[in-house]
């Protein structure tokens, strides 16, 4: 809308009357969402800090290498990372008005996210049967809490992507549709980036 | 006061104020939400004050039998929890809500419905955390204590299911999560509002100092609340599902809680004091008829305090024994953070220097803020030294220190704000005679209560003990402190009566600009129209309204209001989805109360929890969809 960087310098009072006038030159929704993501970093940061400080402190097994199968987790990681690419294509479609492209890639992204969650459920189930429980040792407590917190983020993201696809086809969103898809994308990329960190410290560090 | 200019004369807007209960429930108007925050926070403040009086009554004489040890623990826990989370923070939020849009020339906050949502979530959480007092009245309902009794800091592993049987800690940890969510949502809203809704020409350094401090505080909230939330979630998992985070016998470390808590807890100290500093930075220049001395220094000091505030948390943990390196590092950062704080003190002093100070109630509260806060700050920086801290830890000296900062500081600043902004908020002046009497009595009572605690602490009296033996030389000062507390309560009572009279519309009608203010909020008529600014002003300095009145600057005031401004100004309509969504969020989090297993995983309870939460999560999703459908325009 009018809240672009070009409009920022030549602001007039008439511009300021608009709901969309943004003094900083970033749309309200996007700016607020960036601040939310900054805040979410501290949620993940606290959990990652907890995981790191408890790493290797379990009194009893199973220990990480007793249960990990890094090949399977690498596949799900690859799928999640590739979904960032499809998300970019969805945003591109929304921004350039190619509705079919946007819708397709929203659904592809949601499918990637859902399969990541599926992999995680399989993994949790597998680990549980290997004897790793939430209560059994520190590793179990911290592993399930951290990856569960991230998995919840992905699941919410999948739900959001599907709703976004519905809004998009039903024409619920008035005004700047592209902005809404873009903010959805910000969330999705954030969840991806966080997973890179989590995957590294939980899985890859064990193999060094 | 503003004798020479009465720009607003004759701009009375015809106000068909809808005062029905429904209109307050569905309001999205930042001014109304500010008033709701003010009234509810003040009620909780009074409640917390009564708890403090009971604590003081028990300590009046040695071995008093007025309260049992259990009740005493409950009262000091709830006194601190209430004052911090339900008193000072929402009182600050009241001023954020009311003032930020008016000071920056905006018609509302960026997301008005999210703002209403924050208030209702806060109210839900506040009622939730006080609910145990009501449940306690039903005899035989619970066999274990139900009122939170673990201290506001809730140190692990005393809060574990093993050492805290019953629901008391559950109410505390779940209530705090709900209240934290309200502050988080509000912080995203306020930061975006301040950055994006500034009037044309209002560069960042033309933003009034109060709004600047509000921005710093909201950044602190956005970054520090996640850490205590995670700490509380881990505690909840320990208590409900038998995880091991804080249980040393299974490898967990109770110190993790202390780190997460104080990583939040120290920024929280600045969350409590910076809004009051912002108010004082508005009041002192106005009553001194001078600009704020070195305003950019005040702003930069606030930012610096915000940054360093994240790097000092372990000075709460010197007695833990983190080692000489950590102790030295946190000792140094703690000394450094005193510098920007002191800069502000000197700025306020220089602002008053040579000014012709009008000694109204707001001025008296603000001026005494400077003195009392300095005393608290000096006794605080003493504890930057680990050896001193080791002596004072958990003694009444610390109680004296933080009450000087939080009562002499935060509360005096907020009271100053109440007297200063009441005319703009409610359209009537608060009674100045009552105000001055209230100030004098509170000032005497406050010093009589808290200064003797320095002596008691230095003589070794520990905090949080429900009684003490005679012959320890503590009798005199405990008696004095209790007398002081009741004098203090009398002072607060007078302001309460003045506020009730004000709410009932009694008293002198307030002019638009009673104090000859400098910033945009005073350029508006009183009562402020629903849409605040008919025309959004263009700002040319950091004191636009002062310049218009006294320096021949370009006009920012509104002039004649159109007969039907609603034709020109589109305002967001009222909505009841915020309160519905807030209720669903609150109930979803409340569901964790059902999953408790006394430190073990309990499948049946967990199933109940999931069903309960599932129902409300779906209701939440539906209400959010309706919320979006009501106004599907991304901004």
Question: What is chain B's mean pLDDT, rounded?
Answer: 92
* pLDDT for residue B144: 83
| pLDDT tens figures, B320-373 | 999 999 999 999 999 999 999 999 999 999 999 999 999 999 999 999 999 999
- The verdict on a CB contact (< 8 Å) between B601 and A19 is no
What is the ipTM score, two decimals? 0.93
Q: Which domains does chain B have, with CATH numbers?
A: 21-558 (1.20.210.10)
| Residues of B in Cβ contact (< 8 Å) with A43 | 226, 229-230
Angstrom distances, CA of residue B33 to CA of B84, B605, B623:
20, 38, 20
Tell me the nearest-neighbour CA distance from A48 into chain B, angstroms.
Answer: 11
| Residue located via tokens 């994308």 | A185
| pLDDT tens figures, B215-262 | 999 999 999 999 999 999 999 999 999 999 999 988 999 999 999 999
- The verdict on a CB contact (< 8 Å) between A138 and B252 is yes
Tell me the nearest-neighbour CA distance from B110 into chain A, angstroms.
Answer: 7
* pLDDT for residue B369: 97
Region label for B529, one of left (φ > 0), alpha (ψ between -120 and 50) or beta (otherwise)? beta
Q: Which domains does chain A have, with CATH numbers?
A: 27-207 (1.20.120.80)
| Residues of B in Cβ contact (< 8 Å) with A35 | 187-188, 191-192, 222
Please check the confidence at residue A26 and state whether its pLDDT lies above 50: yes
From B227, B250, B633, residue closest to A59, measured CB to CB = B250
Question: Using 50, 70 and 90 to split pLDDT, how confident is the model at B9?
Answer: very low
Please check the confidence at residue B171 and state whether its pLDDT lies above 60: yes
* pLDDT for residue B567: 57
Residue pairs between chains A and B whose CB atoms are closer than 8 Å: 149
Sign of CA dihedral A139, A140, A142, A144: positive
- Determine contact, residues B101/B63, Cβ cutoff 8 Å: no
Contacts of B318 (CB under 8 A, 6+ apart): B327, B330, B386, B389, B390, B393
Question: Using 50, 70 and 90 to split pLDDT, how confident is the model at B3?
Answer: very low
* pLDDT for residue B560: 59
Please check the confidence at residue B605 and state whether its pLDDT lies above 80: yes
Q: How far is CA A193 from the centre of its chain?
A: 7
Chain A interface, mutation test: which of B244, B309, B540, most A Cβ atoms within 10 Å? B244
| pLDDT tens figures, A160-170 | 999 999 888 88
- The verdict on a CB contact (< 8 Å) between A43 and B230 is yes
Tell me the nearest-neighbour CA distance from B475 into chain A, angstroms.
Answer: 45
What is the token pair recorded at B614? 């599932």
| pLDDT tens figures, B110-126 | 999 999 999 999 999 99
- Going by C-alpha positions, the residue among A4, A170, A30 that lies closest to residue B111 is A30
Please check the confidence at residue A124 and state whether its pLDDT lies above 60: yes
| pLDDT tens figures, A49-103 | 999 999 999 999 899 999 999 999 999 999 999 999 999 999 999 999 899 999 9
- The verdict on a CB contact (< 8 Å) between A172 and B237 is no
From B184, B252, B570, residue closest to A39, measured CB to CB = B184
Give the pLDDT mean for B181-203: 95
Instruction: For Cα atoms B460, B464, B465, give the angle at the middle one, nearest 5 degrees.
Output: 70
Map residue A47 onto helix, strand or coil: helix
- Give the whole-number percent of chain B exceeding pLDDT 90: 85
From B260, B569, B635, residue closest to A20, measured CB to CB = B635
Give the pLDDT mean for B497-515: 94
Closest B-chain CA to A3: B635
Chain B interface, mutation test: which of A10, A21, A23, A143, most B Cβ atoms within 10 Å? A23
Please check the confidence at residue B5 and state whether its pLDDT lies above 90: no
| pLDDT tens figures, B363-419 | 999 999 999 999 999 999 999 999 999 999 999 999 999 999 999 999 999 999 999
CA dist B445 and B462 (Å) reads 22
- Which string of DSSP letters, residue by residue, matches A67-131? H--HHHHHHHHHHHHHHHHHHHHHHHHHHTT-HHHHHHHHHHHHHHHHHHHHHHHHHHHHHHHTT
- Going by C-alpha positions, the residue among A193, A191, A35 that lies closest to residue B226 is A35
Please check the confidence at residue B11 and state whether its pLDDT lies above 80: no
Query: Comparing A9 with B592, which gets the higher pLDDT?
Result: B592
Question: Using 50, 70 and 90 to split pLDDT, how confident is the model at B633?
Answer: confident
* pLDDT for residue B2: 34
Tell me the nearest-neighbour CA distance from A108 into chain B, angstroms.
Answer: 23
* pLDDT for residue A8: 35
- The verdict on a CB contact (< 8 Å) between B231 and A46 is yes
| pLDDT tens figures, B474-483 | 999 999 999 9
């Amino acid at each position: 809308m009018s809240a672009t960087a070009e409009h920022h310098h030549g602001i007039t009072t008439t511009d300021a009357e608009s709901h969309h006038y943004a003094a900083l030159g970033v749309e309200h929704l996007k700016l607020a969402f960036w601040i939310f993501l900054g805040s979410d970093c501290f949620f993940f940061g606290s959990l990652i800090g907890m995981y790191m400080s408890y790493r290797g402190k379990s009194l009893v097994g199973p220990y990480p290498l007793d249960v990990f199968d890094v090949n399977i987790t690498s596949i799900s990681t690859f799928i999640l990372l590739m979904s960032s690419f499809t998300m970019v294509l969805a945003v591109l479609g929304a921004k350039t008005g190619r509705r079919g492209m946007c819708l397709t890639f929203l659904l592809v992204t949601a499918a990637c996210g859902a399969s990541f969650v599926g992999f995680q459920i399989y993994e949790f189930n597998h680990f549980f049967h290997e004897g790793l429980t939430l209560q059994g040792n520190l590793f179990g407590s911290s592993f399930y809490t951290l990856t569960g917190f991230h998995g919840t983020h992905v699941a919410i993201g999948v739900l959001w992507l599907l709703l976004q696809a519905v809004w998009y086809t039903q024409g619920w969103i008035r005004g700047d549709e592209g902005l809404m898809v873009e903010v959805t994308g910000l969330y999705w990329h954030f969840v991806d980036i966080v997973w890179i960190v989590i995957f590294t410290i939980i899985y890859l560090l064990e193999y060094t | 006061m503003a004798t020479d200019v009465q720009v607003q004369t004759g701009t009375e807007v015809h106000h068909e104020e809808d005062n029905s209960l429904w209109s307050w429930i569905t309001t999205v108007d930042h001014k109304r939400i500010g008033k709701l925050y003010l009234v509810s926070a003040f009620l909780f403040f009074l409640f917390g004050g009564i708890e403090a009086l009971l604590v003081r009554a028990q300590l009046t004489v040695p071995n008093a039998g007025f309260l049992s040890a259990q009740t005493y623990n409950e009262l000091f826990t709830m006194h601190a929890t209430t004052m911090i989370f339900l008193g000072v923070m929402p009182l600050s939020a009241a001023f954020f809500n009311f003032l930020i849009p008016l000071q920056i020339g905006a018609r509302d906050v960026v997301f008005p419905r999210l703002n209403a949502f924050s208030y209702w979530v806060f109210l839900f959480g506040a009622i939730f955390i006080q609910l145990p007092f009501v449940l306690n009245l039903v005899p035989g309902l619970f066999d274990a204590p139900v009122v939170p009794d673990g201290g506001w800091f809730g140190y692990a592993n005393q809060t574990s299911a093993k050492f805290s049987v019953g629901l008391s800690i559950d109410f505390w940890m779940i209530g705090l999560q709900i209240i934290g969510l309200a502050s988080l949502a509000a912080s995203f809203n306020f930061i975006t509002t301040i950055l994006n809704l500034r009037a044309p020409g209002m560069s960042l350094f033309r933003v009034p100092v109060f709004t600047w401090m509000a921005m710093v505080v909201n950044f602190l909230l956005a970054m520090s609340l996640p850490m205590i939330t995670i700490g509380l979630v881990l505690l909840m998992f320990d208590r409900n599902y038998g995880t091991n985070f804080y249980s040393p016998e299974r490898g967990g470390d109770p110190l993790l809680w202390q780190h997460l808590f104080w990583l939040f807890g120290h920024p929280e100290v600045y969350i409590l004091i910076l809004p009051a500093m912002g108010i004082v930075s508005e009041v002192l220049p106005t009553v001194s008829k001078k600009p704020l001395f070195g305003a950019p220094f005040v702003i930069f000091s606030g930012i610096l305090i915000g940054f360093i505030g994240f790097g000092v948390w372990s000075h709460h943990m010197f007695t833990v024994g983190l080692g000489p390196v950590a102790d030295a590092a946190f000792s140094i950062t703690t000394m450094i953070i005193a510098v920007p704080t002191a800069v502000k003190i000197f700025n306020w002093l220089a602002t008053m220097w040579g000014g012709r100070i009008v000694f109204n109630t707001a001025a008296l509260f603000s001026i005494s803020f400077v003195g009392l806060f300095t005393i608290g700050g000096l006794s605080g920086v003493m504890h930057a030294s680990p050896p001193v801290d080791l002596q004072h830890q958990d003694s009444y000296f610390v109680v004296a220190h933080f009450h000087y900062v939080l009562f002499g500081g935060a509360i005096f600043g907020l009271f100053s704000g109440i007297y200063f902004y009441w005319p703009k908020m409610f359209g009537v002046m608060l009674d100045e005679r009552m105000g001055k009497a209230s100030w004098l009595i509170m000032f005497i009572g406050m010093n009589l209560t808290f200064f003797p605690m320095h002596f008691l602490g230095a003589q070794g009296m520990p905090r949080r003990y429900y009684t003490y033996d005679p012959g320890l030389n503590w009798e005199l000062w405990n008696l004095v402190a209790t007398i002081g507390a009741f004098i203090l309560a009398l002072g607060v009572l007078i302001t309460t009566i003045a506020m009730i009279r004000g709410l009932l519309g009694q008293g002198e009608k307030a002019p638009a600009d009673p104090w000859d203010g400098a910033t945009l909020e005073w350029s508006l008529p009183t009562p402020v129209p629903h849409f605040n600014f008919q025309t959004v002003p263009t700002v040319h300095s950091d004191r636009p309204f002062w310049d218009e009145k006294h320096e021949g600057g370009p006009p920012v005031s509104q002039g004649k209001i159109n007969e039907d401004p609603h034709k020109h100004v589109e305002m967001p309509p009222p909505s009841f989805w915020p309160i519905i969504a807030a209720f669903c969020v609150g109930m979803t989090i409340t569901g964790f109360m059902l999953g408790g297993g006394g430190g073990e995983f309990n499948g049946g309870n967990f199933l109940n929890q999931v069903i309960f939460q599932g129902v409300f999560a779906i209701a939440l999703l539906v209400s959010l969809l309706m919320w979006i459908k009501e106004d599907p325009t991304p901004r």
